[in-house]
Structure 1
């Protein structure tokens, strides 16, 4: 069951700097699962609407999200502590929403352009990420996640399509 507790954030009604990341997130069908998660996290989506905050979004392919051993809002520690109903009821939905926020924010680098080799912590994460070009491929390090392409480049950043998911720690 998806953790959304409310309706998705409405599209921007008129951003000042032209086309924003929020406008292009849902355009590429290969990343629509992640785009949907992002729209469910109001603080993350608002950042993508903000022309004063540049961001590089590392959007995993649908296939990468589908290969995860569990849903992005599930945490094995929650199941260990709370049992199989860890995400039931109001507290469970809130817990799932917090986990999903962490997942989404682990895929948001708080700058754009992002220079090769520049180490930066994602908005939600403790690990530093950087990228490097190797054998003609752009790889997000330290996990060598391949960048498939750029889904959008707009006034406040870029959306990079990646073949894997970024880990939180």
Structure 2
């Protein structure tokens, strides 16, 4: 079982929300910049009608159109990155916690614990993975949670947890023998 010993889940929630908001704000800033560049390009083209333009002006307009196109592509890329990050690291699906030198999704861990109620559980960090072993009279298996630390650049308030032994109930059948 895991016990959080340093840091707070609430703090990391706020930090994730802040990071998602900053990515949203960055894309919004790029969109504002694009809007301003398009306005400036339109005004420049209006100042220099097609008839009577010099080659220098045509090159200038071509350069500005190229900048606008590059910015549109950048917005498309950053929007996709933002959307993927927002979906993947939404606090409804993700809460990072550091354990044994790796970072795992604590929400997924908690979800699995609920499903494994009644099983005998054990956990360990092995070769960069958090392994949750479960056994009962009927079934047994293990769940591996992978290290997600490389996806969490910029998050500094990740809580730390330690593995503690599960307090098991005595087996009454064994005691009666």
TM-score between both structures, scaled by the size of structure 1: 0.25
Higher helix fraction: Structure 1 or Structure 2? 2
TM-score between both structures, scaled by the size of structure 2: 0.25
Instruction: Find the structure with the greater CA-based Rg.
Output: 2
Higher relative contact order at CA 8 Å, sep ≥6: structure 1 or structure 2?
2
